[in-house]
């Protein structure tokens, strides 16, 4: 009887040990499987990135390569308002400093709010909507005394006081009364956007508008690789069609605009075809390369938010492509994946408690900017990475 009891105890112990070893083995296998899921190639091409993003094979046209960035789980961004939507609906008002702004009180009354004197690098913005307003560096507003470009990514809460808005001028030759500010539905091209978002210097913004591209290879390119939008083309366009050097008039002119639209239409067609068969994923951003150089990335929190910005982002990338020499090298999928790796350099932050946080990290030739919404929970609405041209 005693021997039988010892046998049963031994048997129970062996079974328990087997279960324990099996559980540990399964846990290890699952952990290993998790690691594999982050590195294994999947059907439509790509590896999962550090944020759960995946990069697809590029859409190429001439020397521009557009790598779609996709994600399986999007964030609901329907609670946010874009600048173009707000200006078009009248729910967002942008005005010069000086004069008066009509502001509605909570009981619906209209109150005139006097402002200070007009300033090149500051406007006044009111968000009358019931949604947080998203502003991205590089967005153009037209009208007032000069066309301006938004200086930094930020979020403006609904019902906030009139906001002093930091901007840069992209119309050098005019300082006179014009129409009310309206949505230009334009994003300045990366050379100009970099100077506004990273360098934060007005003279460099003007120089980038007038030069087309600040990329160093433009100055040293051979004659057989000359950019389609050259300094000479810009000078002639300004003289004939945009004497005040208005960004919108320059890049929508007959000399330049036709090339931009034809190029953009072809890229848009190829991009739509390349991404139409996605299953369970949405395009949330792009990585941009010119020739063999990966130069830019814009990634958003959701597919719908990316789609709101895509038409004007695409045209901004095209302007940059036309202003750079058409070199024959081509960036690879691995180049694009590597470009999405977060930087580890010096980081600076700005924030409005309970509304947003802006973070910029610089490391060598690269800069990375993230815009986080802080309410009702923290989410990164927009992430941009730049290979700086200076």
**Residue-level pLDDT at 253:** 83
Flag whether 44 is in a domain: no
Flag whether 33 is in a domain: no
> Residue 232: what are its φ and ψ, rounded to 5°?
-65, -40
Q: Please state whether beta strands 163-169 and 282-290 pair in parallel, antiparallel, or not at all (unpaired).
A: unpaired
Q: Three-state SS for 61?
A: strand
Please give the C-alpha separations between residue 200 and each of 134, 167, 197, 218, in angstroms, as whole numbers: 19, 10, 6, 22
Flag whether 2 is in a domain: no
- Per the CB < 8 A criterion, the answer to whether 166 and 139 are in contact is no
- CA 247, CA 230: separation in Å to the nearest integer? 15
- Per the CB < 8 A criterion, the answer to whether 250 and 209 are in contact is yes
- CA 352, CA 341: separation in Å to the nearest integer? 27
Q: Which residues, in sequence order, are bridge partners of residue 63?
A: none
**Residue-level pLDDT at 379:** 94
Q: In which domain, by residue range, is 126 found?
A: 54-387
Flag whether 43 is in a domain: no
Closest residue by Cα to residue 192 from 171, 174, 173: 171
Flag whether 82 is in a domain: yes
Flag whether 20 is in a domain: no
Tokens of 255: 């000399």
44-51 long-range contacts, Cβ below 8 Å, gap at least 24? 44/277, 44/278, 45/333, 46/70, 46/333, 46/337, 47/337, 49/337, 49/340, 49/341, 50/340, 50/341, 50/342, 51/299, 51/340, 51/383
Q: What is the pLDDT along the chain (390 residues), one digit of tens a residue?
A: 444 444 444 444 443 444 333 433 433 333 333 322 222 222 233 343 446 899 999 999 999 999 999 998 778 999 999 999 999 999 999 988 765 554 555 555 444 454 454 566 789 999 999 999 999 999 998 887 788 889 999 999 998 889 999 998 876 655 455 557 888 888 988 888 998 888 888 888 877 877 777 776 544 545 556 777 777 787 777 667 666 667 777 878 888 888 899 999 999 999 999 999 999 999 999 999 999 999 999 999 999 999 999 999 999 999 999 888 888 899 999 999 999 999 999 999 999 999 999 999 999 999 999 999 999 899 999 999 999 986
Flag whether 24 is in a domain: no
How many C-beta atoms surround the C-beta of residue 206 within 10 A?
18
Q: Three-state SS for 261?
A: helix
**Residue-level pLDDT at 325:** 87
- CA 75, CA 58: separation in Å to the nearest integer? 24
Q: Three-state SS for 114?
A: strand
Question: What is the chain's Cα-based Rg?
Answer: 26
* Cα maximum dimension of the chain: 109
DSSP assigned state of 160: P
Give the number of domains in the chain: 1
- CA 188, CA 194: separation in Å to the nearest integer? 9
Flag whether 10 is in a domain: no
- CA 137, CA 350: separation in Å to the nearest integer? 14
- CA 183, CA 84: separation in Å to the nearest integer? 5
DSSP assigned state of 145: S
Taken in order 154, 122, 139, 327, is the CA torsion positive or negative? negative
Helix %, strand %, coil % of the chain (to 5): 35, 30, 35
């Amino acid at each position: 009887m005693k021997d039988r009891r010892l046998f049963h105890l031994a048997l129970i112990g062996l079974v328990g040990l087997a279960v324990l070893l099996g559980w540990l083995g399964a846990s290890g296998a699952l952990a290993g499987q998790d690691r594999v899921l982050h590195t294994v190639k999947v059907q439509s091409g790509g590896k999962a990135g550090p944020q759960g993003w995946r990069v697809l094979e590029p859409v190429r046209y001439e020397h521009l390569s557009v790598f779609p960035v996709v994600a399986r789980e999007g964030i609901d961004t329907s609670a946010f308002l874009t600048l173009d939507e707000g200006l078009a609906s009248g729910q967002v008002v942008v005005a010069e400093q000086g004069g008066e702004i009509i502001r509605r009180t909570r009981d619906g009354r209209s109150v005139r709010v006097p402002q200070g004197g007009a300033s090149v690098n500051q406007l006044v913005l009111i968000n009358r909507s019931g949604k947080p307003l998203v502003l991205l560096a590089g967005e153009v507003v037209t009208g007032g005394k000069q066309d301006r470009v938004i200086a930094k990514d930020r979020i403006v809460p609904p019902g906030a006081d009139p906001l002093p808005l930091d901007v840069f001028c992209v119309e050098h030759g005019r300082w006179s009364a014009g129409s009310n500010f309206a949505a230009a539905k334009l994003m300045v091209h990366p050379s100009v956007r970099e100077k506004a978002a990273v360098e934060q210097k007005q003279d460099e913004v003007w120089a980038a508008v007038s030069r087309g591209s600040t990329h160093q290879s433009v100055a040293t390119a051979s004659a057989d690789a000359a950019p389609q939008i050259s300094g000479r083309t810009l000078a002639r366009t300004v003289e004939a069609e945009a004497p005040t050097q208005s960004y919108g008039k320059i890049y929508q002119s007959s000399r330049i605009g036709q090339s931009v639209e034809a190029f953009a239409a072809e890229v848009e067609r190829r991009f739509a075809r390349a991404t139409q068969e996605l299953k369970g994923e949405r395009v949330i951003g792009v990585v941009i390369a010119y020739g063999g150089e990966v130069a830019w990335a814009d990634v958003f929190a959701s597919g719908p938010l990316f789609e709101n910005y895509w038409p004007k982002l695409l045209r901004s990338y095209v302007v940059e492509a036309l202003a750079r020499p058409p070199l024959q090298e081509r960036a690879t999928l691995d180049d694009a994946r590597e470009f999405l790796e977060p930087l580890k350099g010096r980081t600076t932050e700005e924030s409005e408690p309970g509304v947003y946080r802006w973070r910029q990290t610089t490391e060598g030739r690269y800069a990375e900017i993230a815009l986080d919404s802080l309410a009702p929970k923290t989410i990164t609405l927009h992430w941009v990475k730049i290979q700086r041209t200076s």
